Amino acid sequence: MPEKVSLLNKYITIFLVVSGYWIISILTVFVNKALLSSIELEAPMFIALFQTMMSVFVCYCMKLLSKVFPSYCNFPDSSPFKKETLKEVFPVSVLFTMMIAMNNLCLKYVSVTFYYIGRSLTTIFNVAFTYLILGEKTSGKCLFFCAVIILGFYLGVDQESLAGSLSISGTIYGVLASLSLSLYSIFTKRALPSLKQEVWLLSYYNNVYSSFLFVLLMLTNGELSNVLEYKRLYDYTFWFIMIMGGICGFSVGFFTSLQIKYTSALTHNISGTAKACAQTVLATYWYQESKSLLWWFSNSVVLLGSAGYARAKQVEMERKHKESLNYEKLGS
């Protein structure tokens, strides 16, 4: 009986974590779209800066709480301004900054319905960079599903073009977002051992360094004057949405970590794929967009390719795990 109760509690926890990830992730996309689509304010880097600063603030509060209430809150006590930390983490933070910047620019120029297709090449770049940087080869089955994803991406872009709603710049930003996310994932794996696998510490450092980088980007592209001249700069409604976006941005990272912790990285990828499907359907309803059958087919191809790739990788990992266990048994 206690085992059944324990198993039930585990399933309830997983359900709540996955549900939380879905709700927060979808809400973040819609809130950011509302901010980035503002015709009056041309400042995507300023919006990104505010969100990274919000994350830094939350992490710093957690750091203080961990000192006052160590039994209830645990956060590593370390400074992001040490020379060794800068050397190890700053390259990752540059990719983190690029990832957020490209995501925001992509979402600014494309619709929420096309957002998933626009950023669907992450898996392809993962395979390419894993081979080029880490020297790890990918199985033929996984490469087949990569080809399916590329086909779906091509069909999606083609259908968006035929519908007259294709943004070339938004699509390019989406591809760059996929590229930077892929590189960020690989370099994160390299950086985590030096931080004793502390994901929250890496998140804290990334947001601190990115805040400085976004200030530089703002000054470079002239966004500061746009922000200062914005008519609604002192409107509480604008800042309410900005704070909501900042909280959502931090919460996505929190629920992503929880989802990986209570399930697995592959399950997180599958969950993200399914979430993207729900997000696309919800966006067509919310924005009252009518899409062709071939447009929906292109989305389905990308989703099936992503799900198939995740499943193929899962099977491979399970097989390798069994082989390593058998090897250990033979060795003992």
Q: What is the pLDDT of residues 221-256, one digit of tens each?
A: 888 888 888 888 888 888 888 888 888 888 887 787
Kindly report each contact of residues 50-54 with a partner whose C-beta sits within 8 Å and lies 24 or more positions away, as own/partner: 50/242, 50/245, 50/246, 51/100, 51/245, 51/246, 51/249, 51/250, 52/100, 52/207, 52/210, 52/211, 52/214, 52/249, 53/207, 53/211, 53/246, 54/243, 54/246, 54/247, 54/249, 54/250
**How many folded domains does the chain comprise?**
1
Distances (CA, A) of 194 to 87, 206, 256: 11, 14, 21
pLDDT for 117 equals 85
pLDDT of residue 173: 93
* Per-residue confidence (pLDDT) for residue 175, from 0 to 100: 92
CA distance 307 to 266: 10
Which of 310, 229, 247, 250 lies closest to 275 in space, CA to CA? 310
Question: How many other C-beta atoms are found inside a 10 Å radius of the C-beta of residue 176?
Answer: 19
Mean pLDDT, the chain, integer = 83
Work out the pLDDT band at 328, boundaries 50, 70, 90: low
Q: What is the pLDDT of residue 326?
A: 66
Res. 172: pLDDT tops 90: yes
pLDDT at 5 over 60: no
The encoded tokens of residue 189 equal 């794996």
Range of the domain at 253: 2-331
Residues 273, 107, 217: CA angle, nearest 5 degrees:
125
Please determine, for residue 3, whether its predicted confidence score (pLDDT) is greater than 60: no
Q: Residue 304 and residue 298: Cα distance in Å, rounded?
A: 10
- Residue 120: count other Cβ atoms within 10 Å of its Cβ: 26
- pLDDT at residue 275 in the model: 83
What is the mean pLDDT of the segment spanning 192-208? 82
Ramachandran angles phi, psi of 69, nearest 5°: -125, 70
Mean pLDDT, rounded, for 200-207: 85
